[in-house]
A and B are shown apart, each in its own frame.
Chain A
Amino acid sequence: GAVVSQHPSRVICKSGTSVKIECRSLDFQATTMFWYRQFPKKSLMLMATSNEGSKATYEQGVEKDKFLINHASLTLSTLTVTSAHPEDSSFYICSAPDSRADEKLFFGSGTQLSVL
């Protein structure tokens, strides 16, 4: 199946710094990518839909200036957590649909962010 690569898998940063997470579709083009946040033992909460060549669509309650999303190419979307604080610590996952594979989503392996 299609492969989505997400980096880094784990990052620890100091409060106030910014962290960039990359999500790449390796063998297919993704005009859309989804970014989720997941708390321990909880479900995935959709944060935003990343659209290639246009602005991302954010879910209600998600701060656009806090979570910057860029989808500059058909294979790369990035999520930047700006001025990170301890409450931003979480597991972030991206996913993308592959038009060759029905309506299923292919997920990155996730990024565990810990803000000290």
Chain B
Amino acid sequence: SQQGEEDPQALSIQEGENATMNCSYKTSINNLQWYRQNSGRGLVHLILIRSNEREKHSGRLRVTLDTSKKSSSLLITASRAADTASYFCATAPVGAGNMLTFGGGTRLMVKP
């Protein structure tokens, strides 16, 4: 059920820097969501962008969506050590109800 590819697979930055993660997908979608997972824990929803939206902001998060390229990016500005986690994009394929398909994830490490 995994349809998204994320890059980079791993990212290491210094505190204060920005982190950018990219996601590509294959099918038509209703929306695209980003989730965060701390090691050994469940996922927490960060932000949702609908297929008719191009950009969305939430606090230090900025998400873009390009449906023509079937790609999205997540930007975390002014990163903090507490942002260290894995980040997953998830797409809601058209006709799939509530089901989401997840990308491979980006493991972000923010060094203090």
A contact set with B: CB distance below 8 Å: 1, 4, 6, 32, 34, 41-46, 49, 59, 91, 93, 95, 97, 102-110, 112
Contact = CB atoms under 8 A, between A and B. Distances in A.
26 contacts: A4-B42, A32-B97, A43-B88, A43-B103, A43-B104, A45-B2, A46-B1, A46-B99, A46-B101, A49-B99, A91-B40, A93-B43, A95-B42, A97-B98, A103-B30, A103-B33, A103-B92, A103-B98, A105-B90, A105-B100, A107-B35, A107-B43, A107-B44, A109-B42, A110-B40, A110-B42
A93 B40 CA distance: 10
Contacts of A107: 35, 42-44
A2 to B, nearest CB: 10
A105 B45 CA distance: 7
B41 interface: yes
